[in-house]
Amino acid sequence: MLPFGIPRWLLCPSWFRSILETAAKVVVAMYFDPNGKAPELAYNPIKAMVAPRPIGWISTVSATGICNLAPYSFFNLIADAPFMVMFATSGHKDSFFNAVASGEFVWNLVGEDLADAMNRSAATVEAGVDEFDLAGVTKAASQTVKAPRVAEAVAALECKVDQFVPLKSSIEGRHNSMVIATVSSAFIQDEFVVNGRFDTAAAKILARLGYADYTVVDRVFPLQRPN
Ligand SMILES: Cc1cc2nc3c(=O)[nH]c(=O)nc-3n(C[C@H](O)[C@H](O)[C@H](O)COP(=O)(O)O)c2cc1C
């Protein structure tokens, strides 16, 4: 320590100060309560960290024949023999009730051009509202399920429900569930099949990040696995 309480390191050369500053930044790394509110964070960042997440744009039909459409980013492909998918609902919503009642749903691929339509279909509306109309998209008949696919979507998977898995809920009175299903038929618009492969970059797939953010898959590169 120098006179007047001045720390000696303040006089040290700039390269040494830069090492100290880098070390200080490392110390700033933080743990936070995943289910709480950290004072340093404006919003919970976990959805922004586990990103991008594919969007399950789920179409279903109710027992009374009303078509429903809604996005679910707790969605993924979970098996390949047979191909299986899941979506999870935070609170039981119309897509869940329709999947329970009919045992079926369709996953529709959201391309960048359908971002606004997808977002419109996320509105909370009465079960009697046809959400294809709400989103402004067209119904196309499916092959193996009653629920229609979105005609404008470049790809779709028809799915038959296998299991409903109740999930924990930390919110009193809210029931969360995962719906697991087997793909019974798959569809791709002709122009997105190039040299026998699905043209992922051309499909401009929309994916969910955290906060209000999204991304588009527009850069694709191959990486061969080691033996
Ligand atoms: C991109 C996006 C992803 C969403 N992901 C989920 C999700 O994974 N689980 C969920 O319960 N709600 C999710 N939501 C909210 C639902 O889409 C919303 O509650 C919708 O009204 C549910 O519609 P439904 O009652 O017709 O099923 C998401 C919304 C958006 C815009």
- pLDDT of 128-137, one tens digit each? 999 999 999 9
pLDDT of residue 9: 57
Contact between 187 and 173 under an 8 Å Cβ cutoff? The reply is no
Nearest CA to ligand 1 atom 23: 70
Q: What separation in Å is there between the alpha carbon of 73 and the centre of ligand 1?
A: 7
Q: Is residue 11 situated within a structural domain?
A: no
- Total domains in the fold of the chain: 1
Q: Is residue 122 situated within a structural domain?
A: yes
Q: Which residues contact 107 (CB under 8 A, 6 or more apart)?
A: 56, 57, 58, 75, 85, 87, 156, 157, 159
Give the Cβ contact number of residue 138 at 10 Å: 13
Report d(CA 227, CA 225) in Å as an integer. 6
Pocket flag, ligand 1, residue 95 (CB < 6 Å): yes
pLDDT of residue 23: 63
Pocket flag, ligand 1, residue 110 (CB < 6 Å): no
Encode the chain (227 residues) as per-residue pLDDT tens digits: 566 666 665 555 676 667 666 666 555 689 999 999 999 999 999 999 999 999 999 999 999 999 999 999 999 999 999 999 999 999 999 999 999 999 999 999 999 999 999 999 999 999 999 999 999 999 999 999 999 999 999 999 999 999 999 999 999 999 999 999 999 999 999 999 999 999 999 999 999 999 999 999 999 999 999 98
Q: Is residue 78 situated within a structural domain?
A: yes
pLDDT of residue 189: 98
Task: Give the residue numbers spanning the domain of 115.
Answer: 46-217
Q: Is residue 211 situated within a structural domain?
A: yes
Q: Is residue 145 situated within a structural domain?
A: yes
Pocket flag, ligand 1, residue 94 (CB < 6 Å): yes
Q: Is residue 179 situated within a structural domain?
A: yes
Residue 157 sits in a domain whose CATH number is: 2.30.110.10
Q: What separation in Å is there between the alpha carbon of 72 and the centre of ligand 1?
A: 5
Using one digit for the tens of pLDDT, what is the confidence trace for 138-176? 999 999 999 999 999 999 999 999 999 999 999 999 999
Q: Is residue 36 situated within a structural domain?
A: no
Q: Is residue 106 situated within a structural domain?
A: yes
pLDDT of residue 179: 98
